Amino acid sequence: MNDVSSITTASDMPKQFVHTAVLLDETVAMLLNVKKLTELELASVSGVYVDATFGRGGHSRRLLEFLDESARLVVFDKDPEAIEVAQKLAAMDSRVQVVHDSFANVAKDLDKLGIGKIDGLMADLGVSSPQLDDGSRGFSFMKDGAVDMRMDTTRGEPVSAWLARVSADELADVLYQFGEERHSRKIARAIKAMDSYDSTLQLAEVIKQAHPNWQKGKHPATQSFQAMRIFINNELGDVDALLEQSIELLATGGRLAVISFHSLEDRRIKQFLQRHSRGYYDEEQHLPIVPARPKYFAKPKRVAPTQAEIHQNPRARSAWLRGAVRSDEPAVL
């Protein structure tokens, strides 16, 4: 058996760069189609699995414990640092293959690896704790660094470059659309009045001063930082692309499991699963004859973290896990 335990683990890493996986057993159980992981023997499950968001590999490592020698696990991440950790894992465990790309390209990338159908696809969306904790990545309004916020630092443009060229109106639209920031216009004008975008702390301070309505216990830049991050990484577009491709990729009986951390994402996943598990589309309900649609997914489920998990890991408090089983019920015409 491959020695997964000897790979870079949380205990090897500096404390601030550790990522505690959220809804760990729940996600792996959903992926392996059991209520509880205790129903399964270790190293007993075959098949091809994809972890679309490797991060530091918490979910991947737990999944590997239950996969047999013949199984394959393909892991994706946009982030070069996450990919470095994944490559170390792959060097020790021949079941693992690593793809440095957005999961928006999952079908194309799997095809290059000679993989057609898969048995399970998981994603744990958003940013990892190491990304947030490292001020130089620009995700945090609590630590100083360049205003970058790219998950993939090898391509695309940092937020600072975008801020320098975007109009106040476009910026306000982004803050509103991706951060649900009600004071987007005022904040956008204040940001555009800045001379440079070299410091996350300065940017956060300008947003704080422009924000007319501070909420207790929440930094006034929270929603604006979230909005810029989602925009620059095309997070919602990537999620839509992943979900759409899951229909084609998952074999009949294969499972989809996705963890999200805010309502913009959760709503999309919920609507996707509803749309493809009902046998009709909402927008066609008013037609005289409602067209029958294939039910691509069955048994959609939603799982929340326990109070105990939220207590141990506050990052879990806004998490939702949704998943379903790929069914193959054709439209009945």
Ligand X SMILES: C[S@@+](CC[C@H](N)C(=O)[O-])C[C@H]1O[C@@H](n2cnc3c(N)ncnc32)[C@H](O)[C@@H]1O
Which residues contribute to the site for ligand X (CB under 6 A)?
A: 19, 21, 53, 55-59, 76-79, 82, 102-104, 124, 126-128, 151, 238
Smallest distance, Å, CB 330 to ligand X? Answer: 31
Closer of 82 and 249 to ligand X (Cβ): 82
Smallest distance, Å, CB 239 to ligand X? Answer: 7
Residue 123 Cα distances to 56, 95, 173, 245, 300, angstroms: 13, 19, 27, 13, 16
Smallest distance, Å, CB 3 to ligand X? Answer: 19
Smallest distance, Å, CB 152 to ligand X? Answer: 8
Fill in the amino acid letter for 122: M
Confirm whether residue 245 is marked as ligand binding: no
Q: What are the tokens at 155?
A: 């391509």
Classify burial at 252, counting beta carbons within 10 Å of its beta carbon; exposed 0-12, middle 13-18, buried 19 or more: exposed
Closer of 26 and 79 to ligand X (Cβ): 79
Closer of 194 and 236 to ligand X (Cβ): 236
Q: Give the DSSP letter of residue 147.
A: S
Closer of 57 and 323 to ligand X (Cβ): 57
Confirm whether residue 58 is marked as ligand binding: yes
Length of the chain: 333
Smallest distance, Å, CB 283 to ligand X? Answer: 27
Q: What are the tokens at 329?
A: 């019920």
DSSP helix/strand/coil, 276: coil
Fill in the amino acid letter for 76: F
Confirm whether residue 17 is marked as ligand binding: no
Q: What is the dihedral of CA 153, 159, 164, 168, to 10 degrees?
A: 160
Closer of 19 and 255 to ligand X (Cβ): 19
Confirm whether residue 124 is marked as ligand binding: yes
Q: Give the DSSP letter of residue 5.
A: G
Q: What are the tokens at 230?
A: 């989602």
Residue 212 Cα distances to 74, 77, 207, 220, 244, angstroms: 46, 37, 10, 9, 40
Which residues are annotated binding-site positions?
Answer: 57-59, 77, 103, 124, 131
Which residues are annotated binding-site positions for S-adenosyl-L-methionine?
Answer: 57-59, 77, 103, 124, 131
